Amino acid sequence: MNTNEPMRYHEQSIVSLIKSALSDDCAEDTFQQILWQLCLTTTAEVFESAQQLSQDTDPARRELGVLILGQFGMSAPVREMQVVRILLDILEKEENLDVISSIGWGLGHRRAPEGVAPLAKLKCHPSSQIRLAVAGGLQYQSSDLAIETLVELSQDADAEVRGLATVILGSQITEDSKAIREALFARLTDSDLKTRREAVHGLALRKDQRAAIPLLEFLTASQVIFEDIQAAHRLANPDLIAALFALKGCEKVSESEIDDAIDRCNKDLEQFHKTVSYEGYQPHFDFEYFIGLLGQPATEETISQIIEKLDEAPKNTIGNTASEQIYFASILDQMQVFRNSGLSIFIENARFSTITLHLHHTVTSTNGMRTYTGTLPYGITRHDSIADIAQKLGLEPQHRGLFVLPEYFFLFDYDEVSDKLILFSISELPRDTSQ
């Protein structure tokens, strides 16, 4: 809530504030301002009013009472044990989802260890609202039961529940155990970007090197935040150096933070790999799967299989600006675009002809195309130059960015301004139609 409240709330009586909060026409922003004012006013009148409200037969009044109690005096906690006991007593018999949810969050605000056991009993509640509140109620709790419950919630069907549980396991508690690491590891391939990022940060905090490769998803100019650089600093992994160097000059994070991370990662790569293993990490997507599509008939069944694998419905157009539309229209007539997965599948003559992996957001930034985070062949990375790629392929390019392999064309497209690799396209060789 915003603590810089208008003076008019200080001037109103407690009765008037409660009446305004309960009125049908009270806007959400106004409600939050009033609630915060009531929580900051640590008088006996507010406490007793909240206690009375929490026992009311009207669930809306009960919810307001619980919300006040949950954060009552949070700027200088008072009546701590009494508030927690009231919330737990209400929880035992409460049936209204909004009230139960508010109790869970209130116990979380109070960081009350007494709330762990009763909240854990609700971890399988059919309402995601309640399961989210259970996770919220377990913030900063590190008992065995709390961690066990959070591990289960990190696997929840609801993305918001998974995300919050992952945040708590990853960064709000500092305990380190196999159960916590494996729970975070399982989220490295989560469909939700924020959850994946929290899992990476949590593993990096514990110096688990399995976070290094998925961290590359976020070490791009369009994605990076300070916490990503911090994660690289903690991992001190030389596999991250190229990505960190590519970020120099990026305005989103300071140059000094990038330099510090580079210094930490500046180790002999070969020696490092002798002592560190990424065993068990499976990238979200496998390059071999996509290259296996080339030349295959683009049937409805095959496209359905792709949709199931990527867990995403495709778009058949791309480009929200004229330049983007011209750019992609010049390549092929028909496309299946998977924005969340960062790839486009091109179709010619009812066959899959080209797979394009989006490795940087420069071209498609206006329509939400995410960076592809799956595997790449021949040890190629998104930070390689044409010379690097030529060396890895053992081939010279036909012209800038185009390599002809026995079965495929590889085309690497670089941004003209930043000279960063933005697109990697794999196309089948022209078919011999004379036979």
| Per-residue pLDDT band at 280 (split at 50, 70, 90) | low
Other CB atoms within a 10 A radius of the CB of residue 136 amount to: 20
Dmax over Cα atoms in the chain, in whole Å? 92
Please, which residues bridge with residue 409 across strands? 404, 427
Nearest-angstrom CA–CA distance, 205 and 181: 10
Mean pLDDT of 16-35: 89
Burial class for 26, CB neighbours closer than 10 Å (0-12, 13-18, 19+) = middle
What are the structural domain ranges in the chain?
287-428
Nearest-angstrom CA–CA distance, 8 and 273: 63
Nearest-angstrom CA–CA distance, 188 and 170: 12
For 35-47, the pLDDT digits (tens) are 888 888 888 899 9
Contact 158, 128 (CB under 8 A): yes
**The tokens of 312 are what?**
């995403």
Q: What percent of the chain has pLDDT over 70?
A: 84
The residue that leads in pLDDT, 281 or 81, is 81
Q: Which of 87-91, 219-223, 230-234, 358-362 has the lowest mean pLDDT?
A: 358-362
The residue behind tokens 């020696």 is 271
**Nearest residue to 228 (alpha-carbon basis) of 240, 113, 189, 238:** 240
The residue behind tokens 């922003």 is 29
| Per-residue pLDDT band at 365 (split at 50, 70, 90) | very low
pLDDT higher than 70, residue 422? yes
Mean pLDDT of 40-67: 92
pLDDT higher than 70, residue 408? yes
Mean pLDDT of 290-318: 80
pLDDT higher than 60, residue 193? yes
**Nearest residue to 380 (alpha-carbon basis) of 424, 427, 429, 428:** 424
Mean confidence (pLDDT) of the chain? 84
Nearest-angstrom CA–CA distance, 135 and 170: 13
Q: What percent of the chain has pLDDT over 90?
A: 43
The residue that leads in pLDDT, 343 or 284, is 343
Other CB atoms within a 10 A radius of the CB of residue 182 amount to: 12
| Per-residue pLDDT band at 272 (split at 50, 70, 90) | confident
| Per-residue pLDDT band at 223 (split at 50, 70, 90) | confident
Highest mean pLDDT among 62-66, 220-224, 283-287, 430-434: 62-66
Tell how far CA 25 is from the center of its chain: 35
**Nearest residue to 21 (alpha-carbon basis) of 68, 73, 78:** 68
Q: Which of 91-105, 236-250, 319-333 has the lowest mean pLDDT?
A: 319-333
Highest mean pLDDT among 71-80, 139-148, 182-191, 206-215: 139-148
Contact 410, 400 (CB under 8 A): no
Contact 238, 266 (CB under 8 A): yes
pLDDT at 435 (0 to 100): 43
pTM exceeds 0.95: no
pLDDT at 79 (0 to 100): 79
